Amino acid sequence: MKAGVYVSPGKLGVKEVPDPVLERGEVLIRVRAAGICGSDMNTYRDLSRFRGVADRVLGHELAGDIVAVGEGVEDRQVGQRVGIEPLMGCSRCDRCLTGDYHLCPELKHIGFAWSGGFAELSKAPAEKAYPLPDNVSYEAAAILDCLACGVHAIHRLDIGVPDSVVVLGGGAIGLSVLSCAKWAGARFAALSDPLSDAREIADKAGADLTIDPGQDDPVGRVMDATGGKGADVVVEAVGGRAPTFEQGMQMVKRGGRLGYQGFFSEPQAVDTRKLLTSEITIVPIFSYARWGTATEYQIALDGVSQGRLIADAMVTHRFPLEEIDDAFKAAADKDTSRAVKVIVNP
């Protein structure tokens, strides 16, 4: 099969590689859409990280058609359209048994431990291939990985009708959190991002306020919008070297919750006295897994199918597999490309 593989630092190319070998309980997927994620960017920029990637084929946000089923697979059929949940826990440990398989010490991802979606074919355990309703496109399904992170944020932060919510960062994760917060009924939801394209998508997701941090002080705008009290909930979704953690500390109300999903390059300083005397709860939000009897991936899929969550609106750029190098360049330099979500169509 053809696959987009690592060639040299910051350079990808298309090569012929062996097809995935189907094992018991697995399904083979003809990939139709695969999203480029921020976590792919870390690997793309750093050769050493590519060594752990199977066949050097990334792509954990994927959807496609089942073209073969392995031995023992009874509830999936050839021809089904499916979205792939890429997280694979061990199914035996304490964390897996309680449903928090994203915290499994042996957690593996399709697109890292296994050859992923930037290829004609990929494979997954049958139960990780979710049949798609007709009204959910392959591209929307490729974004379910981000939307499931948004569902996990709602779960972890207990966001509901009484809450005013501010999301810092309008990448695919931040926009997913905003869309999920509106679905959860938050009476006020705002998003701050310097990219006008991201703010326009936030408007489509029902944002009550968008803030351009290049023009306005986000803390001042949130204080104005909340009568000087601050937001009930702030969700940080940038990381890197952004000042968003401290912004969150300044705009969350006394007794409020500050969640963060961003991977920061450096440890973040926290004023523990302010935390103590304001009883601000800091909540790390990592990946997603199960919420009650449903997986957060399935909850996100239901939300998209019912038209309650945005998905297709986040796709700003599309490339065929042959142009995977351009696709990664667009995702790596969002200031120039104005990309929110880049999709590769193998």
| Residues within the interface to Zn ion (CB under 5 A) | 37, 89-90, 93, 96, 104, 145
DSSP-assigned letters across all residues of 313-325: GGEEEEEEGGGHH
Which lies closer to Zn ion via its Cβ, residue 145 or residue 193? 145
Task: Provide, rounded to whole angstroms, the least separation between the CB of residue 260 and Zn ion.
Answer: 16
Which lies closer to Zn ion via its Cβ, residue 89 or residue 213? 89
Which lies closer to Zn ion via its Cβ, residue 90 or residue 332? 90
9: left (phi over 0), alpha (psi -120 to 50) or beta: beta
Task: Provide, rounded to whole angstroms, the least separation between the CB of residue 325 and Zn ion.
Answer: 20
Query: Which residues have C-beta within 8 Å of that of residue 139, sequence separation ≥ 6?
Result: 33, 63, 311, 312, 315, 318, 343
C-alpha distances (whole Å) from 99 to each of 26, 102, 127, 291 are 21, 8, 14, 8
Q: Which amino acid makes up residue 216? A: D
List beta partners, residue 66.
Answer: 29
Which lies closer to Zn ion via its Cβ, residue 22 or residue 93? 93
Task: Provide, rounded to whole angstroms, the least separation between the CB of residue 276 and Zn ion.
Answer: 35
C-alpha distances (whole Å) from 38 to each of 231, 263, 267 are 27, 10, 19
Which lies closer to Zn ion via its Cβ, residue 86 or residue 230? 86
Q: Which amino acid makes up residue 46? A: D
Which lies closer to Zn ion via its Cβ, residue 89 or residue 259? 89
Task: Provide, rounded to whole angstroms, the least separation between the CB of residue 122 and Zn ion.
Answer: 15
Task: Provide, rounded to whole angstroms, the least separation between the CB of residue 263 and Zn ion.
Answer: 12
Task: Provide, rounded to whole angstroms, the least separation between the CB of residue 249 and Zn ion.
Answer: 26
CA nearest 296: which of 34, 114, 87? 87
Handedness of CA 199, 201, 203, 209 (dihedral sign): negative
CA nearest 272: which of 253, 252, 247, 249? 249
C-alpha–C-alpha distance, residues 142 and 343, integer Å: 8
Burial label for 269, CB within 10 Å (0-12, 13-18, 19+), is exposed
Which lies closer to Zn ion via its Cβ, residue 89 or residue 262? 89
Task: Provide, rounded to whole angstroms, the least separation between the CB of residue 109 and Zn ion.
Answer: 9
Which lies closer to Zn ion via its Cβ, residue 100 or residue 212? 100
Task: Provide, rounded to whole angstroms, the least separation between the CB of residue 58 and Zn ion.
Answer: 10
